[in-house]
Amino acid sequence: MQELKDSFELITFPKIKDTRGNLSVVEQYKHVPFDIKRVYYTYDIPADSSRGGHAHKNLHQVLIAISGSFDVTLDDGKTQTKVFLNKPNIGLHIKPGIWREINNFSAGSVVFVLASDVYNEDDYIRNYDNFKKYRL
Protein backbone atom coordinates (compact mmCIF):
# COMPACT_ATOMS: atom_id res chain seq x y z
CA MET A 1 0.00 0.00 0.00
CA GLN A 2 1.12 3.55 -0.68
CA GLU A 3 2.28 5.80 2.13
CA LEU A 4 0.07 8.63 3.33
CA LYS A 5 2.26 11.33 1.75
CA ASP A 6 1.69 9.71 -1.67
CA SER A 7 -2.07 9.32 -1.12
CA PHE A 8 -3.19 12.92 -1.54
CA GLU A 9 -2.23 16.13 -3.29
CA LEU A 10 -3.40 19.71 -3.40
CA ILE A 11 -4.44 20.93 -6.83
CA THR A 12 -4.53 24.63 -7.69
CA PHE A 13 -7.18 25.37 -10.30
CA PRO A 14 -6.85 28.33 -12.66
CA LYS A 15 -8.20 31.56 -11.20
CA ILE A 16 -9.40 34.08 -13.73
CA LYS A 17 -9.59 37.42 -11.94
CA ASP A 18 -12.24 39.96 -12.88
CA THR A 19 -13.62 43.00 -11.12
CA ARG A 20 -17.07 41.39 -11.43
CA GLY A 21 -15.86 38.30 -9.54
CA ASN A 22 -13.34 35.51 -10.00
CA LEU A 23 -13.88 32.36 -12.04
CA SER A 24 -12.13 29.01 -11.69
CA VAL A 25 -12.21 26.12 -14.16
CA VAL A 26 -11.90 22.39 -13.47
CA GLU A 27 -11.43 19.97 -16.39
CA GLN A 28 -10.93 16.24 -16.17
CA TYR A 29 -7.41 15.08 -17.07
CA LYS A 30 -6.24 18.68 -17.37
CA HIS A 31 -6.72 19.67 -13.71
CA VAL A 32 -8.19 16.48 -12.19
CA PRO A 33 -6.36 13.22 -13.00
CA PHE A 34 -9.48 11.09 -13.55
CA ASP A 35 -12.85 10.92 -15.31
CA ILE A 36 -15.37 12.94 -13.33
CA LYS A 37 -18.38 10.64 -13.09
CA ARG A 38 -20.12 12.13 -10.06
CA VAL A 39 -20.40 15.58 -8.51
CA TYR A 40 -22.02 16.29 -5.16
CA TYR A 41 -21.84 18.83 -2.37
CA THR A 42 -22.75 19.15 1.29
CA TYR A 43 -23.99 22.39 2.81
CA ASP A 44 -25.91 23.77 5.80
CA ILE A 45 -23.44 21.80 7.91
CA PRO A 46 -23.58 22.51 11.66
CA ALA A 47 -20.21 23.78 12.92
CA ASP A 48 -19.80 20.89 15.38
CA SER A 49 -20.59 18.18 12.79
CA SER A 50 -18.22 15.63 11.31
CA ARG A 51 -18.56 14.29 7.76
CA GLY A 52 -16.68 11.53 6.01
CA GLY A 53 -15.70 8.84 8.47
CA HIS A 54 -14.91 6.31 5.78
CA ALA A 55 -12.44 5.21 3.11
CA HIS A 56 -12.87 4.09 -0.48
CA LYS A 57 -11.32 1.00 -2.06
CA ASN A 58 -11.15 2.36 -5.63
CA LEU A 59 -12.67 5.83 -5.74
CA HIS A 60 -10.64 9.00 -6.28
CA GLN A 61 -12.12 12.25 -4.97
CA VAL A 62 -11.29 15.93 -5.11
CA LEU A 63 -12.72 18.03 -2.26
CA ILE A 64 -13.09 21.78 -2.71
CA ALA A 65 -14.16 24.40 -0.17
CA ILE A 66 -16.49 26.28 -2.51
CA SER A 67 -17.51 28.46 0.43
CA GLY A 68 -16.22 28.73 3.99
CA SER A 69 -13.56 26.46 5.41
CA PHE A 70 -13.04 23.06 7.02
CA ASP A 71 -10.37 20.55 8.04
CA VAL A 72 -9.84 17.20 6.34
CA THR A 73 -8.00 14.60 8.43
CA LEU A 74 -6.40 11.89 6.29
CA ASP A 75 -5.32 8.56 7.77
CA ASP A 76 -3.54 5.57 6.22
CA GLY A 77 -3.98 3.38 9.33
CA LYS A 78 -0.59 4.37 10.76
CA THR A 79 -0.15 8.09 10.12
CA GLN A 80 -2.55 11.02 10.15
CA THR A 81 -2.32 14.48 8.64
CA LYS A 82 -4.72 17.41 8.60
CA VAL A 83 -5.38 19.62 5.56
CA PHE A 84 -7.18 22.95 5.93
CA LEU A 85 -9.29 23.95 2.93
CA ASN A 86 -10.58 27.51 2.56
CA LYS A 87 -10.06 28.59 -1.06
CA PRO A 88 -12.43 27.72 -3.92
CA ASN A 89 -9.56 27.38 -6.39
CA ILE A 90 -7.74 24.71 -4.33
CA GLY A 91 -8.79 21.05 -4.41
CA LEU A 92 -7.65 18.13 -2.28
CA HIS A 93 -7.22 14.97 -4.36
CA ILE A 94 -7.67 11.92 -2.11
CA LYS A 95 -6.58 8.63 -3.64
CA PRO A 96 -8.17 5.26 -2.80
CA GLY A 97 -7.43 3.49 0.49
CA ILE A 98 -7.34 6.58 2.73
CA TRP A 99 -9.65 7.20 5.69
CA ARG A 100 -11.04 10.73 5.80
CA GLU A 101 -12.83 12.83 8.42
CA ILE A 102 -14.09 16.34 7.64
CA ASN A 103 -14.82 18.75 10.50
CA ASN A 104 -14.29 22.26 11.96
CA PHE A 105 -16.75 23.78 9.50
CA SER A 106 -17.04 27.55 9.37
CA ALA A 107 -20.46 29.16 8.89
CA GLY A 108 -21.68 28.77 5.32
CA SER A 109 -19.25 25.99 4.39
CA VAL A 110 -19.89 24.08 1.19
CA VAL A 111 -17.90 20.89 0.52
CA PHE A 112 -17.88 20.30 -3.25
CA VAL A 113 -16.76 16.82 -4.35
CA LEU A 114 -15.64 15.51 -7.74
CA ALA A 115 -15.61 11.69 -7.83
CA SER A 116 -14.11 9.19 -10.26
CA ASP A 117 -17.16 6.92 -10.24
CA VAL A 118 -20.85 6.81 -9.50
CA TYR A 119 -22.08 5.89 -6.02
CA ASN A 120 -21.26 2.28 -5.10
CA GLU A 121 -21.81 1.20 -1.50
CA ASP A 122 -19.45 -1.78 -2.03
CA ASP A 123 -16.56 0.67 -2.51
CA TYR A 124 -16.96 2.12 1.00
CA ILE A 125 -15.15 1.02 4.15
CA ARG A 126 -17.23 2.55 6.94
CA ASN A 127 -15.71 0.84 9.99
CA TYR A 128 -12.27 2.03 11.12
CA ASP A 129 -11.18 -1.41 12.44
CA ASN A 130 -12.11 -2.96 9.08
CA PHE A 131 -10.18 -0.16 7.38
CA LYS A 132 -7.04 -0.96 9.38
CA LYS A 133 -7.36 -4.66 8.42
CA TYR A 134 -7.83 -3.61 4.78
CA ARG A 135 -4.61 -1.56 4.94
CA LEU A 136 -2.52 -4.53 6.18
Query: Which pLDDT does position 39 carry in this prediction?
Result: 98
- Does the annotation count 31 as an active-site position? no
Look at residue 3 in the predicted model and tell me its pLDDT. Answer: 79
User: What is the H or E stretch that residue 129 is in?
Assistant: helix 128-135
Q: What's the CATH code of the domain at 80?
A: 2.60.120.10
Cβ neighbours for 91, distance < 8 A, ≥ 6 positions apart: 10, 11, 13, 26, 31, 32, 62, 63, 64, 114
The larger pLDDT score, comparing residue 2 to residue 43, is at 43
80 is in which domain, residue-wise?
Answer: 4-135
Using a 10 angstrom Cβ sphere, with 0-12 exposed, 13-18 middle and 19 or more buried, the burial of residue 11 is middle
pLDDT at 136 over 90: no
Longest dimension (CA), the chain: 52
The pLDDT of 82-87, averaged and rounded, is 98
**What's the domain count of the chain?**
1
Q: What angle do CA 38, 102, 109 make, to 5 degrees?
A: 75
Residue of 31, 54, 60, 93 marked catalytic: 54
